[in-house]
Structures are given as C-alpha cells and as structure tokens.
Amino acid sequence: MNWGSLENFLAMGGYGLYVWGSYGVTLLCIAVELWALARRSRRAQPEQRA
C-alpha cells in the first residue's frame, strides 16, 4: 500500500467514506458505552454503601 498524498490515503481507493465512516461509528459506540458505564457506576455507588 503506497499512497502518494494524504488525499489519496483518506480516499482509500474510493472506499474512504465507508472506511472512515465505520471508524467513526465504532468510536461513537465506544464513547456511548463508556458514558453509560460511568452513569451506571455512579447510580450503583449509593447502593453499595448501604
């Protein structure tokens, strides 16, 4: 794999939208999961103390 420029690398041979889109969706899912985990943890702490 040899790209001549950053533009060619980001285009990924015409599949850039799918490649970078899938990275974006994955990153969004991970961020939402981390947020939900932190929220559940904060809600569970008072129950653990009791």
12 within 8 A of 19, measured Cβ to Cβ: yes
What six digits make up the tokens of 9? 């690398």
Residue 49 pLDDT > 90, yes or no?
A: no
pLDDT of residue 13: 87
pLDDT of residue 45: 85
Going 7 to 10 to 13 to 15, the CA torsion angle's sign is negative
Residue 47 pLDDT > 80, yes or no?
A: no
Cα–Cα distance, 46 to 48 (Å, whole number): 5
pLDDT of residue 15: 94
- What does the pLDDT average to over 28-39? 97
- The answer to whether the predicted template modeling score (pTM) of the entire model surpasses 0.85 is no
pLDDT of residue 39: 95
Going 43 to 47 to 48 to 50, the CA torsion angle's sign is positive
